Amino acid sequence: MDRTSYLASLKADTTVLLDTAGSALDSDVPTCPGWTGERLVRHIGRSFRWTAGWITSGRAPEVERPPEGAAVVEWARAGCAELLAALDGQPSDDVTVETWIGPQPAIFWPRRMAIEAAIHRYDAQTAVGAPSPVGAELAIDAIDEMFTVVLPKVGIGDIGAAGRTIHLHATDADLDRFGGGEWLLTMSAEGPTVERVHAKGDVAVRGPVSDLLLLLWNRVDADRFQVFGDAELLTRWRESVAI
């Protein structure tokens, strides 16, 4: 995806997120145990402002305390506007900028925030019982980000499966135009390595690419997938990757 696509996705998902959660501020968010719609809106509003601060200053900023009640929705919406303004002022996408994982190409930030908005839009929709999938191209990009950005930062520890493999296979049609929809994870004490290949794993997980992304983010359970082989390995992975 390019910057234009990321920004369009960010804007669209934020609108749905805030409209949905704004109508269910007191409702529980099943995919974020212990959270209400209001807490979800507070979180995304803080994320917008925190990221805008990173973009403009090159370091983590202090973020103001959000208001309580219905006012938090417009506060978060203003935070999105602040983020979009910061993104609009970025240098070209291949210029190196500071991020929370160290120096990265400037495209890191629109990509990261498009994914953030998509995941939390899904969370907001679960609060009202009507979640819709993440688009296939963004879902593939987000799975790649999980393996190249998120996991190297948060780690999963040693799950006692060195050399064992997990194969993820997206079953959607026509994913070749997005670089394919298969990933092979090989476990080690230092963390998993990943290859975008068709291969046989010790456990194979098949399902729509949006569901695979949501599985990795612990938003859905494994029972909605076809799982072949060592299902216990998948369980240990999910218990270790708590995000």
Q: What is the pLDDT of residues 181-209, one digit of tens each?
A: 999 999 887 778 899 999 999 999 999 99
Do 114 and 23 lie in one domain? The reply is: yes
d(CA 118, CA 88): 20
Co-location of 147 and 122 in the same domain: no
Query: Residue 94 maps to which CATH number?
Result: 1.20.120.450
pLDDT of residue 157: 66
Last residue of a domain, one of 63, 96, 126: 126
Question: Which residue in 79, 78, 108 sits closest to 91, CA to CA?
Answer: 108
- Cα distance between residue 74 and residue 79, in whole Å: 8
What pLDDT does residue 238 have?
Answer: 87
Please tell me whether residues 40 and 154 are part of one structural domain.
no
- Determine contact, residues 183/143, Cβ cutoff 8 Å: yes
11 with 120, same domain? Answer: yes
What percent of the chain lies above the pLDDT cut of 70? Answer: 99
Q: What is the pLDDT of residues 104-140, one digit of tens each?
A: 999 999 999 999 999 999 999 999 998 999 999 999 9
- Cα gap 57→51, rounded to integer Å: 10
| Angle, helix 108-126 to helix 136-145, in steps of 10 degrees | 110
Same domain, 89 and 170: no
Q: Which of 111, 61, 121, 70 is nearest to 87 (CA)?
A: 111
The mean predicted confidence, pLDDT, of the chain is 94
pLDDT of residue 158: 66
Decide: 71 and 93 in contact? Cβ < 8 Å. no
**Are 121 and 192 within one domain?**
no
Query: How many Å from the N-terminal Cα to the C-terminal Cα in the chain?
Result: 24
Does residue 132 lie in a domain region?
no
Question: Hey, which residues does 185 pair with through a beta bridge?
Answer: 166, 194
Q: Among the ranges 76-80, 89-93, 101-105, which has the highest mean pLDDT value?
A: 76-80
The answer on 116 and 24 residing in a single domain is: yes
Q: What is the mean pLDDT of residues 163-187?
A: 94
The confidence score (pLDDT) of residue 190 equals 77
At 11 the pLDDT is 98
For the entire predicted model, the pTM comes to 0.95
Domain that holds residue 215: 138-240
Same domain? 111 vs 7? yes
Per-residue confidence band for 237, with pLDDT thresholds at 50, 70 and 90: confident
